[in-house]
Amino acid sequence: MKKKFFAVILIAAIAISLFAGCGTKNQAQQPSQQQTQNTAQVLNDYFTDDPNGFDVQESTTLSMYTMARLLYSTLVRYKGETLELEPELLAKMPEISENGKVYTFELKKGIKFHDGQTELKSDDVKFTIERMLDPNGKGASTWLFEPILGAKAFMEGKSNSLEGFKKIDDYKFQIILEKPYAPFIQNFAVPSASIYSEKLVKAGGDNWKFNPMGTGPFKLKKYVPNTEIVLEKNPDYFEPGLPKLDEIRFRIIPDDTTAVMEFENGTLDVATIPITEYQRIKDSGKYNVLESVALNTYYFLMNVSDPKWSDVRIRKAMAMAIDKKKLVETLYGPRGTVAKAFVTPGIPGAYELGQGPAYDYNPDEAKKLVKELGGNVKVEAWQRGGDRLTDANIAIQAMAKEVGIDLDIKIVERAAFGDARSKGKIPANYGNWWADIPDPDNYLYTFFAKTNQMSSGYNNKKVQEMLEQARAETDTVKRNELYRKIEDTIVKEDVAVIPLFHIKSLLATQKNVKGIFIHPTGVTVYINAYKE
């Protein structure tokens, strides 16, 4: 997948007024305005940035993913806070053929989109997949469906219909893969795989992304760009008794300090906690503080095909130059833990926390390697956007300088950065990866396969062959062994990436807010949220 950029999600509560009916007789029978205000389940949330529409196929930010789980539904989803899959739009989990290539799906009947009339059918699933893969479209997560037979031809414009999608009837269909891909079903739990209505998307035209209609628990009530997004409960939602909230209001509040002030004044119900305020807010005892495991890795990636980074000794020296413990404590305090591996602990097949092939901080050895290279080595890295270097980049730059590495960090406009990344032209960069699916393939294949998308420039053919083998391997034990061997080579021998640290997700809520949690994939879930 393409890199996701961490977006802070904050939730808060605000009451709204509903007017009672007119006339003396009606007033006696209906609740007063004040009673309605007190019983309405209304939550006030905020984003630091406007999502600029609601097409989850176009964006992979965590804020968009969180919004997607409110407006849309996927074929399967994660069960609560676990990594176990369960059906969402499906009547049951799909059947998989013995050769691992044919998946048979059956939709639940009677699921309606937000217009209250259009029913979900097999054709909508086919439309959604083809829309993502459309060579003339804006699909940012084509990797979700690329394993499907005929996907490549469709994406190249050589076919006008996806060969590997076979409709059986309005509720049953098959998806056939070009070759076995072990984690394929997990792709359908990613918010980018939310199912759209062919009829409603086509009817909405260019304006559909601002007036979306999904099958999710909430529907769009109001959108004022850069100001406010209001969602209201979907009365036709297919799961009885859900959602428990009547309305969620997302304000656009760019400044975290302002949000924390509002939270402590009681005008917000939930806030992401800045590191500088974490201990104070926790020790106050006034709030619920939620700490959740998050599947992420913060890293320093070096393009091994870039002439300045091509010598493994400079990459190894860089790995030993960074004091990860000091870096993470400075940036994230108790929220962060040092990374010893690139694949996040907690993912099946990953190293356990504190174990892995990454180099430890060793400035003396780093200096020796720099000396071998002639001393005062000059290299370059890029930063995606901003008007000044981030604190992380400033710290990494200073640590590199201590061992004799002159690291020049260039700030590059976001669009130009993305374009260069797609072409493998970024020399190096500090970044973060939040897993879309809990599988090593989502990390290692994405960054280091032949078609690597993240400017790693990686070209170890033996490792790339093992990556292809591992994603098709259905034996769990063999698959895990392959990924350990692959990661050992990438991180220890080739030093193509430096795993730095992992961070937890933190939320503080008012005492009366219940049922909200952040899934390990980083998505905030509100389906069971309510206020006492």
DSSP reduced 3-state for 430: strand
pLDDT surpassing 60 at residue 5: no
Q: Can you identify the CATH homologous superfamily of domain 296-503?
A: Dipeptide-binding Protein; Domain 3 (3.10.105.10)
> What are the residue ranges of CATH 3.40.190.10 in the chain?
1-70+216-294+505-532
Domain with CATH 3.10.105.10 in the chain: 296-503
State the average pLDDT for the chain.
90
Residue ranges in 145-225 assigned as alpha helix (H): 151-155, 184-187, 198-204
CATH node for 1-70+216-294+505-532: 3.40.190.10
The DSSP bridge partners found for residue 44 are 12, 249
Q: What is the DSSP string of 82-128?
A: SS-EEESSBSSPPEE-TTS-EEEEEBPTT-B-TTSSPBP-HHHHHHH
Q: How far apart are CA 460 and CA 318, in angstroms?
A: 20
Report in angstroms the alpha-carbon separations of 423 from 214, 412, 433.
Answer: 34, 15, 19
3-class DSSP state for residue 328?
A: helix
* Residues of each domain in the chain carrying CATH 3.90.76.10: 73-199
Domain 73-199 has CATH 3.90.76.10: yes
Q: What is the pLDDT of residues 264-291, one digit of tens each?
A: 998 888 888 887 788 889 899 999 998 8
pLDDT at 366: 98
Q: Taking residues 432-456, report their average pLDDT.
A: 91
Percent of residues in the chain assigned helix, strand, coil, to nearest 5: 35, 20, 45
Q: What percent of the chain has pLDDT over 70?
A: 93
pLDDT of residue 22: 35
E-strand ranges in 424-477 read 428-434
> Residue 38's pLDDT is what?
52
Question: Looking at 166-170, 172-176, 346-350, 464-468, which range is the least confident one?
Answer: 346-350
**pLDDT value, residue 61:** 84
Helix boundaries (H) for 6-164: 24-29, 33-39, 62-71, 122-133, 151-155
What SS3 string covers 216-285?
A: CCEEEEEEECCCEEEEEECCCCCCCCCCCCCEEEEEECCCHHHHHHHHHCCCCCEECCCHHHHHHHHHHC
What pLDDT does 270 receive? 86
Q: How many residues does the chain have?
A: 532
Give this prediction's pTM.
Answer: 0.85
For the cut 60, the answer to whether the pLDDT of residue 20 exceeds it is no
- Across residues 155-179, what is the average pLDDT? 97
pLDDT at 464: 96
What is the DSSP-derived secondary structure letter of residue 172? E
Higher pLDDT, 332 or 9: 332
- The larger pLDDT score, comparing residue 321 to residue 22, is at 321
pLDDT tens for residues 356-367?
Answer: 999 999 999 999
Token readout for 405 is 């590495």
Average pLDDT on 231-248 reads 96
What is the per-residue pLDDT across 80-127, written as a single tens digit (0 to 9) for each? 999 999 999 999 999 999 999 999 999 999 999 999 999 999 999 999
pLDDT band at 44 (very low <50, low <70, confident <90, very high): confident
pLDDT of residue 245: 96
